Structure 1
Amino acid sequence: MNRLTSDPSLELCPDFTSYIYQTSRARLVNQNNNLNEAQVVGILQAVWVVTNNTHKVQWQRQLQEDQAAVTEQQNLEDTKCQLQASHLKDSEAAFLEEDRKQNPFKYIPIPNRPRPLCTVHNVLLSDFAITKLVKGQYVELYYWTNGGLPADARSTYRTADDECMGPYTSPGSSTTAGAAHQVARVIPDHSLTPIDFAQAVPRALASFQQCGWAAERIQMLAAFWQALMRHDYWNSIDPLAQRALLVYQDEQRRAWHQAIPLPDGAWDISILDDKEIKIIFETIYREDRCRRDDEWDARHLQSLYPRGALDDHSSNHRVRRSRRASSSKGRRRSASPPVHSNSASFYN
């Protein structure tokens, strides 16, 4: 069936009595001798009406089919747009999630509150220390001392290039992050003074909590440092006794951090090993005694020998004393898991 191009209801019945239909009327009259011209006109009008009514029905059906086709096409377009929007939304969500993983610093919520006054020193850590803290690694207590905070965390930073930041001390001079990971003057734990140690401990514990360390680890380290500061050596008037505790703290905390990812795991560091502490103290005492003896011998020899003879005699004397000291010390063994293959290097 041919498709209609106009609405049949708008059409008017033609005038079949007009001159243009004369040929059609004459043909019908000649074919039907019983019909006159008026009857032929009536027949033509009746045929036109029937045909027009048929076209009207066809037109309505055609409109319904067109509307159904338009609706179906619109539904397809809507479904396609929804799928595209859903895919775009999923892509944006995946990108946002990946960006959150790669750049978590951008998405840390900032509370609407005034600057906290009591904890300002807890947040002024160096980027190097914060990076190691976030990973749960060992960090020297120097970074929380009064000397460590201003020297490192309060440095002025400016952009060195698109990928790194570097501290600088004057315009035109900068150091990239790759070359300035750690401050050159960091003091190891065993060389800290008791006052610096006592200042650093509470600040370090607060930083551990801010960086999301497990509560059990923080409590264990707090108990470890508290046990050290309650030890008899800590309140001794002998500075070597306090240094022995600081050396013990440095060795054990390093070994504890190193043992955490190992198959056997770490241990309760808050349980002090008094035997190991005494061995460390004896080692420090012997080295200090040898140093004092060498200084006394040097002063004594200087008063007895001329300058040229003093050099030869002092050299031979130091060799003999070094051999005696090394044979008397021997190799001490730790009661905890091995920490350093040569612990004597800590005390020099």
Structure 2
Amino acid sequence: MEDPNLAVRPDFASQEHEASRRQLVEEGLSNENAARTLAALWTLANNAEKDRWALRQRRMIEARQREEDEEEERQQQRKEEEETARLEERKKNKTKYAPIMKSGDYCELHYFTNRGLEDAKLSNLIAEPEAMVMLPAADGLHSWIPAAAVKDPKAAPVVKDENLSWEEFNEAAPRMITMMKLYDWPDDRTDMHIQFWSALQTHRWRHSPDQLKQRALLLYQSQQR
């Protein structure tokens, strides 16, 4: 529908509208009065169209505003859900590393290796006596046994930093940096670790074919940090 506010009233005195005027003239009006009557009727109809147009526009604006408000509400809800999930994940991470991540304390890298994280997962399972754990058997197959029957991984020896492989070091270092920030370690301590470990990665011995030199870097790392 076109906007009736843009419509232009026809010239009902013109030859084009002679037939319309004739009908009114036959009813007793003069040709001039017939033209004015047609113009008045057109204006009344146009005003009614303007009112309907305005009502339609208001409803469209209100509907669009409702949609925008609903979308804004959905986005806000998503943000709140994402923030809740982020805080929950942060809480889980803090709980996982709480015993070993006191701000500024020395912490073995072992806890942040894949092996150390698996120990932590198993420890969580053992906290639930009815849980079942799949372990490899001597014949190479796997079997399910009660988690309570599994040896407490805390009793397993922690691998010292100097005995880690470079692969394990690369697993652990980025995770530990993340946890340092999460547990509000002093910035200078965190930055020191980042710079120190970055220097080790770029040292010429890091990719030396001599394994003793590579091991020497890990030993140096364990002694200096």
Which category of TM-score, normalised to the shorter sequence, fits these structures?
0.3 to 0.5
Normalising by structure 2, report the TM-score: 0.48
Larger Rg: 1
Normalising by structure 1, report the TM-score: 0.32
